[in-house]
A and B are shown apart, each in its own frame.
Chain A
């Protein structure tokens, strides 16, 4: 197996007495698409800033492309593309100018960066907006421009912090498509998300993080297999009855979780469980059988839902 492009061991970031990242360890292989899945405040963004060689770790070891970010910040950053959680495009410049200015930061000659900017606008489906003001772009377009900007130096690793948060479904799908293409071209992707569908779509492997620590690691399918059942039956009996019913059916399936608005029954055969419940006289207001997802893994590991 080729050497890892990222190796973190016992990586820690403390702000005064609070540990935002509390000793996490993981490796990312070249060309891999690696995700950090967790709720807001889990320490994902802090981790990303350390990986981006802009935030100094307070403990542990970190190697990016074989280099220590404490010593080789500029060398590492010259090979990274960074898409931060909040777009930090220059709103006072036009769309294409954002790419030109940014490319210069990498020491790319003007003529080269001009050509590259046109290619990237094409890739980001923004060629017709080259002269538009950044302010006039939609959220999805700004995101694509931020990704285009992150690619201006042809990076070995692309770091994406919550790439589709706040976007509508169509914009998300366009973005996922672009990221897929990059993955196919062999770019290593590291992304954080609190969307399980995004993690399932984009990540070969991921770690589930909560409160600055890693709860589990594996491919989406592995994590689901390991920490959840094949299917989930969701039943609603009304918010005042859910808790009571949950106690009465606790023996059904592999496991029963009660949420304020619904009961989740984990089982290999969801339809079978539903029939069984109905046979015992439980008639839910609504019922739904679905595949287990990373959301269920997260709930299992932390006792909480991802989006609160």
Chain B
């Protein structure tokens, strides 16, 4: 008996899984859109307008020295928004899909492969991040927070940042058999400190030297700096900009592959 054609699942399996995930997101689509617009409005008002009035008045040229505080903080908030979506989507929804609403095992019984299941989940979240970042960026424009047209590329770099963090979370979440609060720990002890110590609200150089390493290993710092280079031409050596891209890409590739392997191992029992 010759092998029947499974051309379509082999070629598009990732997309079929992504379709399923997007349908699930669609169910709470209005919440997603509301938070995607509400968050930037609130943050940009509070930090870019409120706090900025204090910072700009006392530091003259804004905390970055080059630009207003609003322009300085906006790319960081954009990258953080992507990381927040990513942390949200790769924790409980992934754990649920293995355990409480075991749709991965159901998908595995169809012609899609474990790697395609991992890919599909990631692709769907990437699409959600692109949408969220695009809306965020739109609000940034309304606030006049993006001096350079190249700044729009910040949507891509923010998404890359979210993906770099997200695939690592997914790789970890896929190993979790029992929920003992690990997801809350990720949020409180990894995502939140990363948000606070990644040069988000003040340049990393302002931190004591012994804390600066947090920024260097933080994908969010690399993503934020990249966003600043694009949005207002933050002055930094070209090799450092290259390093941001390389670091985020390396994490994405390594985390993505790890997620595929771990999902495969878990579903092949």
Contacts and interface: CB of A to CB of B under 8 A. Distances in A.
Given A55-B269, A75-B3, A107 B19 contact: no
B124 to A, nearest CB: 13
B6 A74 contact: yes
A75 B108 CA distance: 13
Interface string B1-45: 101101111101100110110011001000000000000000000
Interface string B112-142: 1100000000000000000000000000000
Contacts of A92: 24, 27, 101
B263 to A, nearest CB: 13
A107 B268 contact: no
Given A75-B3, A88-B102, A102-B110, A55 B19 contact: no
B262 to A, nearest CB: 16
Given A54-B108, A66-B1, A77-B111, A105 B268 contact: no
Contacts of A80: 109
B108 A107 contact: no
B106 interface: yes
Chain A residues touching B, range: 35 or more
A79 B197 CA distance: 53
Nearest to B8: A107
A82 B109 contact: yes
A104 B16 contact: yes
A25 B168 CA distance: 42
A102 B106 CA distance: 8
A88 B105 contact: yes
A73 B7 CA distance: 13
A105 B268 CA distance: 18
A75 B267 CA distance: 18
Contact of A54 (B1, B6, B109): B109
B9 A107 contact: yes
A93 to B, nearest CB: 7
A153 B10 CA distance: 16
A3 B1 CA distance: 10
B240 interface: no
A1 B112 CA distance: 33
Nearest to A75: B3
Interface string B213-244: 00000000000000000000000000000000
Interface in A91-130: 91-93, 97, 101-102, 104-107
B183 interface: no
B24 A55 contact: no
A93 B28 CA distance: 12
A101 B20 CA distance: 6
B16 to A, nearest CB: 5
B54 interface: no
A90 interface: yes
A77 B116 CA distance: 14
Identify which of A67, A84, A104 gathers the most chain B CB atoms within 10 Å of its CB.
Answer: A104
B105 A84 contact: yes
B107 interface: yes
Nearest to A20: B269
B113 to A, nearest CB: 6
B17 to A, nearest CB: 8
A54 B13 CA distance: 16
A82 B104 CA distance: 14
Identify which of A75, A82, A89, A107 gathers the most chain B CB atoms within 10 Å of its CB.
Answer: A107
7 contacts: A54-B108, A54-B109, A55-B268, A75-B111, A78-B111, A101-B20, A105-B16
Interface of A: 3, 49, 52, 54-56, 65-67, 72-75, 77-80, 82, 84, 86, 88-93, 97, 101-102, 104-107, 149, 153
Given A66-B1, A74-B111, A101-B20, 16 more contacts: A3-B1, A54-B105, A54-B109, A74-B112, A77-B109, A78-B9, A82-B109, A90-B20, A92-B27, A93-B24, A93-B27, A101-B23, A105-B107, A105-B110, A105-B111, A106-B8
